[in-house]
Amino acid sequence: MSSRIIRQGSALRHSALAIALAMGLGSTGVVFAQATSGNIFGTAQPGDTVQISGNTGFNREIPVDASGRFQISNVPVGTYNVDLKRNGAVVDSRKNVSLTVGKGSDVSFAAAATAASAQSLDSVTVTANSLPPVDVSTVDSRTVITSEQLAKLPLARTAEAIALLAPGAVGGSGYFKGPTGNSLVSIAGGSVTENAYYINGFNTTDPLSGFGGITLPYGAIDQQEILAGGYGAAYGRSAGGVISQVGKRGTNEWHFGAQVLWEPNGAASAPGNDHYVISGPNTSAGEIYKYNERDKQTRTVESAYVGGPLIKDKLYIFLAAEQERTEATNVENQDTPTYQSQSYRNPKYYAKLDWNINDSNILEVTGASNKQSYNASQYVFDYDSLQRGAYIGKDTSGNPTLNKTGADVYSAKFTSYITDDLTLTALYGKMKGTYSTDVSSSTNPHISGPNSQDPTLNGGNGGISNDNPASLTFAPNHKSTNTNLRIDLSYHIGDHTITGGIDNQNIRDKDDGQYTTGPGYAWVYAQGTEGKPIVGAPGDSDFVGNPGPGGYYVDKYKYNTTASVRTTQRAQYIEDSWQVNDRWLVKIGLRNDQFTNYDTNGSAYLRLRSPQWAPRLGATWDVNGDSSLKIYANAGRYYLAMPASVALRSAGQSLYTREYFTYTGIDSLGQPTGLTPIQSATGGPISANGEYGVQRDPNTAASRNLKSEYQDEFILGFDKTLGDKWVYGAKATLRKLRNAIDDVGDSNIIRQTLINQGVDPTTIGTIQGSYLFNPGRASQFLVPNTQGGYYQANVSNGDFGFPKLQRNYYGLEMYLEHPFDGKWYGKLDYVYSKSYGNSEGQVRSDINQKDVSATVDWDFPQLMEYSGGELSNSRRHVVKAYGSYQLTEEFLLSGNLSISSGAPKSCLGQYGADESDPVGYGDFYHYCYGQPSSPGSMGHTPWLYLFDLSAEYRPVWADKKLAFNITVFNVFNSRETMQIYPQAGITGAPESNYKATVFSSTPRYARFGITYDF
């Protein structure tokens, strides 16, 4: 390959930042947030040359400029040799320089070497990285975990488990799962739907609801970076964090390997049972709520890889495959008393082609697949005898996961070094998703709330049910496609590198949604207050009259949201990386996003196309000029797009009704008999949100002045060396959610506003019960009139009676790190943080609400009284420590410690001191037995202490190609409650599940492994 001359600006002092700036802002491009490359820079004697060569065919020779600097950017992640040449002879060398994605590696040479020393090169060759502990070239907040660390640390084999190593990342609610059943994470106070996922630069985030994303086989991960904020204008659509994976690639040497991992049930501790905490109508405190002693699981993982040159120095391939198989048994709680025999299959595949077309053009092609299949046979479970009963059928509920789900990803990235100062990158890819559930064979209606049946009619045995275990099922032929086009152009001029580009996504969601099982409806039993209306008051649009004797009633529940929809997301950006002087770097960027969401008829119901300017500003100061102390700061605005699934209820033809009855009997299938309709505003079914199965007019789906959700972020931090073996630092983060999108259901207020505006009430048409709007802001709603047109209702936040929107996150991180020195590595991290407000974000963890931007919050003002408090993802104190120690040449020990304070607990009940239900939501108000009860006011779950330990034996007699490993998770078998059931019922008729444990820490278990690498 020919040498490429890199022109420099005016001479600067040889500070590390100056080199970093030359590297990161130089002629061949900048480093992006989800980059797949790194940079090499350094100092040497002017007039010398530096040759950079790797085993992936990357080979360049560059001059050292007059100020003693050299740099090369956009170097593919890998391991390189860097040789210093003088008069054509190698006089110094740095071997095995490993690049970290998105960062710079400082490879500086002393000026004392001479050409004569080339005869005794061994005396000056350094084998190891010359990377300084403090990277002064970055302004963002990122954690990078390499494949070498992944091979050592005791981690579950998911992207989210890796992400939990990053400061500010905590586990999300157990209710929420990713596309293939993975647990999710909250990063720096964001909800679990606000993270972005990438594979080799392609956005693999779940396009439907934002729950997680597609990830690589564990053994194919070269590096994973977790960004907790501060990234530049090139990337957006995330208000939480970014999980970006870079896959491995082939080299000039063929390598292959295989691994088998086994987690036997016999090596796991028995889980304890969960119990009722309070006594309910049909339960007693201390009684078993969920029988866990029959919960067992065995998991096996088999994986293999191969990589090498198809044409040496030119064309490379890397292939990896992984199959995870899990066999488990599980007993559900007394609400749905079933025994399940479960089987999971999770195959993952990865392929990468790298073609060095010539010394100026590179093409990378990636293919990845991540899918899961789930099958479970269900049986009746008798909580009196604690025995399995008759066979019911297959689990088709979609909970805990769909029967088949996942996606295939294909992408191509082209990089062209057009000139020394102009670089073009273009990426195009497609992700095809599959989400399907087997259709239930039961024709019986599901019975919900059997514990709330009138005990005088069911024999007092805790409830009568039938063979239909789920009220809802997902559409069986659901598919999606997500295409992503990125074009980035970078130009270097003087002390500036100006980068601009586009970032476009098109998403199609086909046959998405849920519907009620059985005959198309379910029976929901409940108990209200005798003599008081079930919902509202006479005259209200959602009024439902008094229940029967004892407050008992039942409703016929119908639900259907199936639809095909699409979204388009466009963005343009420009950013200037400015080398102010030899110690200061400033990055100034501006991004503009446009989002459009279409309903099932192809009509746009959200047109967020006006400029949505997202400024980004970052700076870093190399205080001493030698990479020993870095102070950095950044501020930015981040917009979040609305995913495709929002249309299913807000702009589709959704059906969501309840028809209320009293009853005088219950048959053997749990169905009510002797039905008498309860008076209602419609004389029949009631839909609190106006969802009666009629196609929504796109003009009435959202407020006319709706704005996108966005968040502002501010970060200030420092990193400092401590001697020559340690690094420490601190970082403060402030995040404020400035705007959100949710739905509002108070049609009575909208109607009254029109009347106050002088509109004749007899000319007002049907008002939808669910408009998308910006909580806490004034809204403009179009309402049909009887003349075929629309009225515009200008409703202020005061008209609704809502509080102002609030979600604030404060975090202070302090860390101490010992970089790997050939013997050991370790990092200790402590974060104090608080996340509080009245909106968690797009979902609600405490009540398992997955409907994105259609939560219970903001539906009615009564639901938002006393709603401000500590949010579900808040953890005041988190300590993390992880590392590895090479005990001997053959034995390696590693550990991972996590200590965190508990999650906030809440109590939800009926409204006000008289425990009424003015809007028909039951016990979802922030009142507890008549007293105000804000989130977190009931204290916190216990502190959680988790320690994982791993030991590896890699014998010399097998040339260290063979390894035996054992990992013990949760060594001390800490089993603590992580989330409780928050709904309390009413005084005199408490909800039996209140305070019961719904999720707890996994008991101790062990994993055994055998690995062979050649």
The pLDDT mean for the chain works out to 89
Residue 260 · residue 302 · CB < 8 Å = yes
Confidence of residue 722 (pLDDT cuts 50, 70, 90): very high
- The pLDDT score that the predictor gives to residue 576 is 95
Minimum mean pLDDT range among 691-700, 735-744, 875-884: 691-700
Pairing type for strands 89-98 and 125-127 reads parallel
pLDDT for 10 beyond 60: no
**CA 795/CA 771 separation, integer angstroms:** 12
pLDDT for 725 beyond 80: yes
Confidence of residue 19 (pLDDT cuts 50, 70, 90): very low
- Residue % of the chain over a pLDDT of 70: 94
Question: In the sheet that 37-43 helps form, which strands lie side by side, from edge to edge?
Answer: 69-76, 37-43, 104-106
Q: pLDDT tens across 441-496, in order?
A: 789 999 998 888 999 998 877 789 888 878 888 888 889 999 999 999 999 888 88
The residue with tokens 């009509």 is 603
The residue with tokens 């508990």 is 902
Minimum mean pLDDT range among 37-41, 288-292, 515-519, 550-554: 37-41
Confidence of residue 743 (pLDDT cuts 50, 70, 90): very high
**CA 423/CA 492 separation, integer angstroms:** 9
> What is the Cβ-side half-sphere exposure of residue 840, based on CA atoms within 13 angstroms?
31
The residue with tokens 């806490």 is 776
DSSP 8-state assignment for residue 716: E
Instruction: For residues 384-403, give the mean pLDDT.
Output: 85
10 Cβ contact list (under 8 Å, min separation 6): 495
- The pLDDT score that the predictor gives to residue 613 is 96
More confident residue, 441 or 684: 684
Residue 423 · residue 429 · CB < 8 Å = no
Name the phi and psi angles at 699, rounded to 5. Answer: -75, -20
620 Cβ contact list (under 8 Å, min separation 6): 17, 136, 137, 138, 139, 584, 585, 630, 631, 632
- Report in angstroms the alpha-carbon separations of 132 from 92, 227, 627, 651, 720: 18, 21, 7, 54, 11
Minimum mean pLDDT range among 201-210, 599-608, 690-699, 778-787: 690-699
What's the burial of 746, exposed, middle or buried (CB within 10 Å: 0-12/13-18/19+)? buried
Q: pLDDT tens across 309-323, in order?
A: 999 999 999 999 999
- The pLDDT score that the predictor gives to residue 634 is 95
Cα-Cα-Cα-Cα dihedral sign, residues 766, 767, 772, 778? positive
Decide: helix, strand or coil at residue 408.
strand
DSSP 8-state assignment for residue 467: S
Minimum mean pLDDT range among 123-132, 154-163, 282-291, 403-412: 123-132
pTM of the model: 0.88
Residue 721 · residue 629 · CB < 8 Å = yes
DSSP 8-state assignment for residue 627: S
- The pLDDT score that the predictor gives to residue 9 is 30
Pairing type for strands 104-106 and 37-43 reads parallel
Residue 7 · residue 56 · CB < 8 Å = no
CA proximity to 904, closest of 945, 935, 863: 935
pLDDT for 123 beyond 60: no
Per DSSP (E only), the strands in 663-778 are 665-666, 672-673, 676-677, 709-722, 726-739, 742-744, 771-773
DSSP 867-912: --EE-TT--SEEEEEEEEEE-SSSEEEEEEEEEEPPPB---EESBT
More confident residue, 477 or 802: 802
Decide: helix, strand or coil at residue 488.
strand
| Type of residue at 391 | Y
DSSP 8-state assignment for residue 815: E
- The pLDDT score that the predictor gives to residue 875 is 96
Instruction: For residues 811-817, give the mean pLDDT.
Output: 97
**CA 626/CA 52 separation, integer angstroms:** 23
pLDDT for 690 beyond 90: no
CA proximity to 714, closest of 810, 804, 641: 810
Q: How many residues does the chain have?
A: 1014
Confidence of residue 34 (pLDDT cuts 50, 70, 90): low
Confidence of residue 629 (pLDDT cuts 50, 70, 90): very high
- The C-alpha angle with vertex 851 and arms to 850 and 855, in degrees rounded to 5, equals 100
- Residue % of the chain over a pLDDT of 90: 67
pLDDT for 4 beyond 60: no
Q: pLDDT tens across 138-196, in order?
A: 888 889 999 999 999 999 999 999 999 999 999 999 999 998 989 999 999 999 999 99
Name the phi and psi angles at 749, rounded to 5. Answer: -65, -40
Per DSSP (E only), the strands in 599-725 are 604-608, 613-622, 629-640, 655-662, 665-666, 672-673, 676-677, 709-722
pLDDT for 122 beyond 50: no
Confidence of residue 57 (pLDDT cuts 50, 70, 90): confident
**CA 835/CA 810 separation, integer angstroms:** 7
**CA 161/CA 813 separation, integer angstroms:** 20
CA proximity to 300, closest of 254, 268, 341, 346: 346
